Structure 1
Amino acid sequence: MHCRVLPHAAGDGPWNMAVDQWMLERVAGGECAGAMLRTYEWSVPTLSLGYFQSRSEAEADPRWRGAGLVRRATGGGAIWHDRELTYALAVPSSHPMARGAKDLYRAVHAAIAGLLADRGVEVRRRGEQEARVGRDRPLLCFADRDAEDLVVSGSKVLGSAQRRKAGALLQHGSLLLFGSERTPELPGLEGLCPGLGAGPASAWAGPVWGRIAAALGLVEAERGLSAEEREAVLGIAGAVFGDPGWTDRR
């Protein structure tokens, strides 16, 4: 299957979420012949709330007061996006990995786990026995325990979330490269593997693209956004992800 890859870039919260939403809509509407894939960074450290989370829950913790904030269209826990690599993948519903609830999670996570293992990182899927059960969940995704997490020495380094739309499935996730001052409890790959030399997020972009594409049988072709496409993304960012009504809806 053909896969359009957007060049690795950095953007703020509304822009990043708008590009992911635009990808989902393009693939669902058949305007993209195949899948779409990108990796990116956050130009401003930002807390992204899961679709169902309450803003008041975040503001109850003093460390998030005054922090950049955006609400995702995907579920799951909040993520503090700082010193990480984020990936986003939109696949048409005709792709075999888009059919089962966990298939895409496992394929993408296994691909990234393989990349980490090749770099000497002892990484594994958390698994059902260690997963948290019940409704009492922490605010932060990386403090939670999902069976599909990738963990190193028991600490989560990769988590993902999905949104399904008629005709397509969006999955995006964060690979935690370094720790952050606001989340000292989350050491990231560099803290867990001091000899790794994690380097900048941009250095991971090509290898991550390649592993995901190979795992899903995608043929990559890199192409940036046209002026018209950029305007469409800006429209989504302003109307949805940059709108306080969206961010404050819960």
Structure 2
Amino acid sequence: MSSWTIAAAQSGSRPGDIDWNIQHHIEFIHQAAARDVDLLMFPELSLTGYELPLMAELALSLDDLRLQTFAIAAQQHQMGISVGLPLKAEDNVRLSALTFLPDGTRIAYSKRNLYGPEKDIFTAGSTLPMFGYQHHQVALAICADISVEAYARDAAQRGADLYATSVLVSEQGYEADCSYLARWSRDYQMAVMMANHAWPTGGYLCAGKSAFWDPNGRQVIRGGEGEQLIIARRDGNHWQGEMLSLPCPSVI
């Protein structure tokens, strides 16, 4: 099997400050590019923070000019980049992950298993787009999606090599969510990555500790607290992990 390097950006977001958050994402992208990362995953609603009362106001369209920054970075660094955002879809707003591929393609995935008050704000997604990147197949999931076995099973049956998840997980829910992800990687023999927030957002104290499991259910690496890149590299059938702590700017 070919080599492949993927990473979770354990980043922090300023509440509702899209412009600042975009620039902060670019800092992570540059660090990932310097380490030859092929696919970089940011946390749930990373461009806005998990600020539910602001979602209707902050929702972006697929062709919002501010997002061009990521399209350019994906092409420049030959890197897939997946960011979290509220996405306008006709007359609805969806809680989405938008992936930018080096060839200019943009692929949107919208959370299907909405949690609590999200149901009053967002319209649930209904499909699982898969994308191939350097001969690998990737399926996405967002936070509460990871508790639904049917979603993971469907991804595996469709040939996913990686189940890439963007989350907002507190210490209280962390171990339970990790148990799901370890189980899906083991039972369905696909790698699993989790990108969690580094800073408090939306009233939640985030656990950090982004992680990666190989297709046998073995946790290759688990991050710590604060802003980090959690990197997993595959050479042949062997995965190894690397953790890079990044300087933390002021949250406010």
Structure showing greater Rg: 1
Higher relative helix content: 1
Larger RCO (alpha carbons 8 Å, 6+ apart): 1
Identify the TM-score tier after normalising by the shorter chain. Answer: 0.3 to 0.5
